[in-house]
Structure 1
């Protein structure tokens, strides 16, 4: 008001004399010197401001415009930092130090994290609404220190395992977001992340009772931690590398067994009869298997079991897909090098060459006079490629021995100098037989018919025993309700007559359409 009264003076005389302060500046100086610099006035003003902020932090509604005006005045008087900000930050530090200690004991970790996030949002809003911008950095740092920095380890020890076990994606995202705000927070989280993976993974690998499900559980666990890293930890490379290190540590705590079980798991997926997945899904599964495979040290153990199972699939014709087999071979070659897969590739070449040889052998057999309808298929295997098998003496029927001799003559005639060593124990024999389907079907039908007769008799006797006397129509109706299969009226009538003949029931002497139960 005073400035408005002396507006003309301020704009003319004062502007022409640079040594004179403006009416506004003079007023601020006089107000600062004679009013706000008075310690009692200043303390009372600051106490009032802090009380309003405390009440708002406790959930009460206050006059924010009044606070904005008061704090703006302190800024204009250039006493905001010295008189207010220092005390405000001290009060904030004490408040959140006590609150952090109390709530960390009272609340579960997810609830505590949401409370911390809420407090940070509230303090950021205070800066926007009525605090000076210079207060933002120290204020937020104080809240982060007391609610987060002082409780990093406690928070993780108390709640990280639970969040990961329960797959609490949103809470884990918030945890990472909050820990990223505090110096050293991500590093502490990273260490606990490694410890969790090692501990959980060890429970899968070490326990022999879990051998049947070990590989599937490892795949599921890997999918889970990958999802957490991608969604919650912002694809942080440190967490990716830590996960790999942890997997490599726990999976090799039990030497050789994981390698063996991974080979057997691949065998179960590549065998005929596996209808669980499409070709695309099978390819993705093999990619995941290779990731687990990278972690194991005993790759030679894997090779031994994989070769043994591959031999069975190829020799017995139990391979579900040649494309899938070759895809897996390609992945192993890319991962371990050509030396690792050279023998496996040789096994496939042997099978392909054997098919060509058998085409020529069948043409050769057309010119041979071999009695009977027996067929022979031979696989020519290179000894160095295939697993070693203990020779066993097998007594074959004369017809099969003769076919072997014919094949030997055929093969050595084309490949002189080579030696054939029969491994009959690796072979298989298919017997074909025909059964009289009509007689079997008739026998089954007759057996079902007899069973139904007994069920009809039992239902009739049960109803008559309970009702004692019943008309024909009501008896038929109740029998139909109890039976679970259709019955012709004529067949039902025959069963009633049979029961009358066997003295289970009788016709009423006065009413032939009514039956009486005979005790």
Structure 2
């Protein structure tokens, strides 16, 4: 019981602790401290074994107590007891009475040792002995020094200062620069093993290697920038070769792996090609295009490729890409194009690379890719069901066709304005729409004509030719079943194809000699075609091939796809940033403006590096939408609005 009316009266537990400290703990401290330091000296000087666990326990005992050894100790204890207060801060006993003397003993000992200088012996011999001293002292210190204190780090700095003065350090680094610049991996391994215990040298060597790899990578990319900006194979395989080269040369340890990673990350995301393209997104685009070349059907003359090995190499480069969302956009667009045009080498290969990306970035990153593959599989079943339906209904005016139905949230295509389908095609499309709507009520089908293609035959010539055409080319050619000549203006009115696109379609048909115009010269351009020009069907068309491929990519379609892709990247990033802001603020409720921006950057850095200006816009937008509000008294603090 505590007597509230009298000072100096304590509960028995507190009183016992106080008596223990005053009568036992403090009087023995000086003797115990000296004994510990003497034992440590004996071990260092004579290599005598000592009980380091005992020393560790004693140090921890004293370092965790608040008492102070000096002339005023008894008076301070009495004053504390009288005042009934134990919360006053008292100087650090461990640091004042153990650490300082311990470090001074070490310095005195090694200053007296005959440590060979770099000038008197070979660098390897000298560093070997220095390294042994260093390892012995550090390992010995680790066995008893408290982890809660900074003594070990002070010890490391002290030993660096003793063993490696500035002129030693400069000599070692000069030798390291020669070894790194000549890429002498054997000497590097030997020398690095000796200097690696010293943080100062280790950090400088790692920085030296990082700079060397970066400089080589940046210069190599600059040399090929003239051609590789449009050659994804050359660009990506050059990066892979650089990575492989330095993975072998500097395969010394994890710190060198970190140096390699930093260097590769820098020259892959910022190099002569990204500067020439005036965008940091060029690297993810070229990597996606490289994947596309591997996954598309190849010529029979092309050599066989070990795709699993190639995919692993792609992932090495992918891991260094900062804007992984840009890669996903380009990859998704090209995947859809391969699937729609039936150009994939195999679905198994498509699934393999997607599974590897999934392991790296998670399910959310690859969910749209997986949806596309699923859509193709479902479409195959769907078209079989449709054909069976047509057979059961005895529909005769339906052309032979196949269809792919892709979910709108997984596609990377930009829709173009509608056109007027000829009667030969309209009945088929209307029939399929009715069939689909009966099975999927509430869904809307959007026809992407720019990605459709087909075959038509010429029956009026002696030789029957099969023409492989785009849907736009087919629509224009089918007009000639009605009339043998049309003006450009009439074709536009009949089909509703936009002028720019129609000119490209006519150019392809005129240059292939399927159509002709007496008013257009041989070396004409798109701009030479006028609305009043008369276009006629070539009745005496001749070709060496019975199957003539006229289907070429349209510039306007490609440009619109690229614009749509870039716009969707920006829009997606806004939604991702807003979602991250809401998620963080919902958890924190209140947060400083600057800290919120910092957390957003940290959370999204694995996907892309958000610009601070864009984050600020998203914060302002969420304030307008009343998801967030500023503090009335401090505008730098944001509150989540529930």
TM-score, scaled to structure 1? 0.50
What are the residue-to-residue correspondences of 1:262-281 with 2, within 5 Å? Answer: 262-273=287-298, 281=306
From 178, 190, 207, the equivalent of 1:191 is: 207
Aligned partners of 2:457 and 2:464 also within 8 Å: no
Aligned partners of 1:194 and 1:242 also within 8 Å: yes
Tell me, what secondary structure is at the counterpart of 2:453?
coil
The equivalent of 1:141 in structure 2 is none
> How far off its partner does 1:402 sit?
2.0
From 252, 256, 259, the equivalent of 2:269 is: 252
Tell me, what secondary structure is at the counterpart of 2:194?
coil
What are the residue-to-residue correspondences of 1:75-474 with 2, within 5 Å? Answer: 151-158=171-178, 160-163=180-183, 171-182=184-195, 187-204=203-220, 208-209=225-226, 210-211=228-229, 212=231, 213-230=234-251, 233=252, 236-253=253-270, 254=274, 255-273=280-298, 281-367=306-392, 368-370=394-396, 374-431=399-456
- Computed over aligned residues only, the root mean square deviation of the Cα atoms, in angstroms, reads 3.9
> How far off its partner does 1:192 sit?
1.5
Q: Name the CA distance, whole Å, in 2 between partners of 1:423 and 1:440.
A: 31
> How far off its partner does 1:396 sit?
4.1
Change (3 A) 1:405 1:151: same
Aligned partners of 1:394 and 1:425 also within 8 Å: no
Change (3 A) 1:390 1:409: closer
Aligned partners of 1:268 and 1:274 also within 8 Å: no
Tell me, what secondary structure is at the counterpart of 2:405?
coil
1:343-402 superposed Cα distances (whole Å, 9 cap, x missing partner): 222212211111111111122233434258x41111112111111413134454422222
Bigger Cα displacement from structure 2, 417-426 vs 294-303? 417-426
Change (3 A) 1:185 1:301: same
> How far off its partner does 1:324 sit?
1.4
Q: Name the CA distance, whole Å, in 2 between partners of 1:273 and 1:406.
A: 36
Change (3 A) 1:392 1:242: same
Q: Name the CA distance, whole Å, in 1 between partners of 2:118 and 2:412.
A: 72
1:163-204 superposed Cα distances (whole Å, 9 cap, x missing partner): 3xxxxxxx4213322443356765543222111122122235
Q: Name the CA distance, whole Å, in 2 between partners of 1:343 and 1:180.
A: 48
Change (3 A) 1:290 1:409: same
Change (3 A) 1:384 1:179: closer
> How far off its partner does 1:431 sit?
4.8
Bigger Cα displacement from structure 2, 150-159 vs 249-258? 150-159
How many residues end up aligned between the 2 structures?
298
> How far off its partner does 1:158 sit?
4.2
Change (3 A) 1:361 1:204: farther
Aligned partners of 2:285 and 2:326 also within 8 Å: yes
Aligned partners of 1:392 and 1:425 also within 8 Å: no
Tell me, what secondary structure is at the counterpart of 1:366?
helix
Tell me, what secondary structure is at the counterpart of 1:422?
coil
Tell me, what secondary structure is at the counterpart of 2:205?
helix
- Segments of structure 2 that go 5 or more residues without pairing to the other structure are 1-113, 127-163, 275-279, 466-541, 545-642
1:141-176 superposed Cα distances (whole Å, 9 cap, x missing partner): xxx99xx9764333344453343xxxxxxx421332
Q: Name the CA distance, whole Å, in 1 between partners of 2:449 and 2:194.
A: 70
Change (3 A) 1:268 1:432: farther
Tell me, what secondary structure is at the counterpart of 2:396?
coil
What are the residue-to-residue correspondences of 1:45-84 with 2, within 5 Å? Answer: none
Aligned partners of 2:397 and 2:428 also within 8 Å: no
The equivalent of 1:504 in structure 2 is none
Aligned partners of 2:415 and 2:448 also within 8 Å: no
Q: Name the CA distance, whole Å, in 2 between partners of 1:94 and 1:242.
A: 31
Q: Name the CA distance, whole Å, in 1 between partners of 2:347 and 2:303.
A: 15
Tell me, what secondary structure is at the counterpart of 1:357?
helix
Change (3 A) 1:440 1:257: closer
Instruction: Give the structure with higher Rg (CA).
Output: 1
Aligned partners of 2:179 and 2:188 also within 8 Å: no
Q: Name the CA distance, whole Å, in 2 between partners of 1:94 and 1:244.
A: 36
Change (3 A) 1:360 1:227: same
Q: Name the CA distance, whole Å, in 2 between partners of 1:341 and 1:202.
A: 31
The equivalent of 1:29 in structure 2 is none
Q: Name the CA distance, whole Å, in 2 between partners of 1:89 and 1:350.
A: 74
Change (3 A) 1:409 1:267: same
> How far off its partner does 1:440 sit?
10
